[in-house]
Amino acid sequence: MKLFWCEQSRAFRIVWMLEELGEPYERVRVDFRSGEMQNEPEFRSASPMGKVPAIIDGNTKLWDSGAICLYLADKYPQAGLGVASDDPDRGRFVQWLMFTNAVIEPAMLEKFLEMPAKPTTYGHGGFEAMLDVLEAGLEPGPWVMGERFTAADVLLGSSVDVLDKFKLLPDRPKLKAYAERCRARPALQKALAMNEPLA
Ligand SMILES: N[C@@H](CCC(=O)N[C@@H](CS)C(=O)NCC(=O)O)C(=O)O
């Protein structure tokens, strides 16, 4: 498996996911800030949008962190990071797996860009509503699927980690505690170490 990756990017999620799985992979650095890999044929075949993360796994090519996490969770069921399609909790798992890219990301953009609130117009609703729904989803916890840590937590946890680092969770102790639980995982610590800016 080849992972197109760059430090300080969303590719961090897939490093975390692969470290949780313990599966071998090759990391190929795509310095999207310099743009030097933009025309590299293998990378562009895997990532038509020219973004990281992207993976090549045999004939399979994927270029979105949510899709990649779902694919990997399904591919390695023995690792227990997915929920089988015939499991009654599969629906909840898929819903939360989608929440990062469908709701948290655009809500963060709304916040960072100080966009006017338009909760009935924006597909994601609004920033505070996103936090309320996420907080409720993490009850009773400790993970979004209860006692099971899954790929959905990799996506949600990576977002909550960023929200916390940008100090966007001032009155959200439950979300901060979730971020801390995620950071206590050895696989996340390995991924964070690889995520440091290059000297
Ligand atoms: N929805 C995508 C977003 C990926 C994305 O925006 N990646 C950024 C880095 S964090 C990127 O590659 N930007 C470079 C560019 O757009 O040229 C995902 O979650 O994988």
DSSP string computed for 129-145: HHHHHHHHHTSS-SBTB
pTM over 0.85: yes
CATH class of 90-185: mainly alpha
pLDDT of amino acid 198? 86
Quick check: CB of 52 below 6 Å from ligand 1? yes
> What residue ranges of the chain have pLDDT lower than 70?
none
* Domain map (residue ranges) of the chain: 2-80+189-194, 90-185
The hierarchical CATH code for the domain 2-80+189-194 is 3.40.30.10
Quick check: CB of 142 below 6 Å from ligand 1? no
153-190 pLDDT per residue, tens: 999 999 999 999 999 999 999 999 999 999 999 999 99
pLDDT of amino acid 199? 75
Q: How far, in Å, is the centroid of ligand 1 from the Cα of 99? A: 17
Strand, helix or coil for residue 6? coil
Quick check: CB of 101 below 6 Å from ligand 1? yes
The residue assigned the tokens 């071998």 is 24
